[in-house]
Structure 1
Amino acid sequence: MSIAFLDPRNLEGDLQAGAVAGDTLLWLLLWATAMGLLVQLLATLLGADIQEVIGSAIAIKILSKGYLAL
């Protein structure tokens, strides 16, 4: 956390929070990283589905020679 903002106030606050909370912040960081990766994976899968739907609609329009609207 202190790597993100290296100014004296943030570094001091991060060190004090680490001294008070101990190893609890490490477990929180581990779970937050895992949840962030899960959310990114789900967003990527949804993005891939949207591309397939749009691609299928364009293909149907081309194959029907414009009789079916998008």
Structure 2
Amino acid sequence: MAVVLLTTALVIVVALLAAAGAGKLARIDGATYAATLTRAATAFAAVITLAASVTAALAALLT
């Protein structure tokens, strides 16, 4: 149970870092705050979706 919680926390931290990086790069590029939030949210969702896909693939292989 502890491994699941630790892994979940790690994935969320990585997703937040990716979103923050995407937002910072968008602001450096001159995007508006609305566009920056959209890009950050897209990056966050992409990382979470990728983690879910990898989890599903590994679960299928290991069972």
Q: TM-score, normalised by structure 2?
A: 0.50
How big is the alpha-carbon RMSD for the aligned residues of Structure 1 and Structure 2? 2.4
The answer for unaligned runs of 5 or more in structure 2 is 1-19
1:22 Cα deviation after fit: 1.7
Question: Does 2:56 correspond to 1:49?
Answer: no
Aligned mate of 2:49, from 38, 42, 50: 38
Question: Does 2:32 correspond to 1:22?
Answer: yes
Mapped to 2, the partners of 1:35 and 1:27 lie a distance apart of 12
What's the CA shift string for 1:21-47, capped at 9, x where partnerless? 122121101011011101100100100
Q: TM-score, normalised by structure 1?
A: 0.46
Mapped to 2, the partners of 1:47 and 1:27 lie a distance apart of 30
| Aligned length in residues | 40
Mapped to 2, the partners of 1:34 and 1:26 lie a distance apart of 12
Equivalent position amino acid for 2:53 in 1: L
Q: Which has the larger radius of gyration?
A: 1
What is the identity percentage for the equivalent residue pairs of Structure 1 and Structure 2?
A: 15
The SS at the match of 1:50 is helix
Larger relative helix fraction:
2
The answer for unaligned runs of 5 or more in structure 1 is 3-12, 53-70
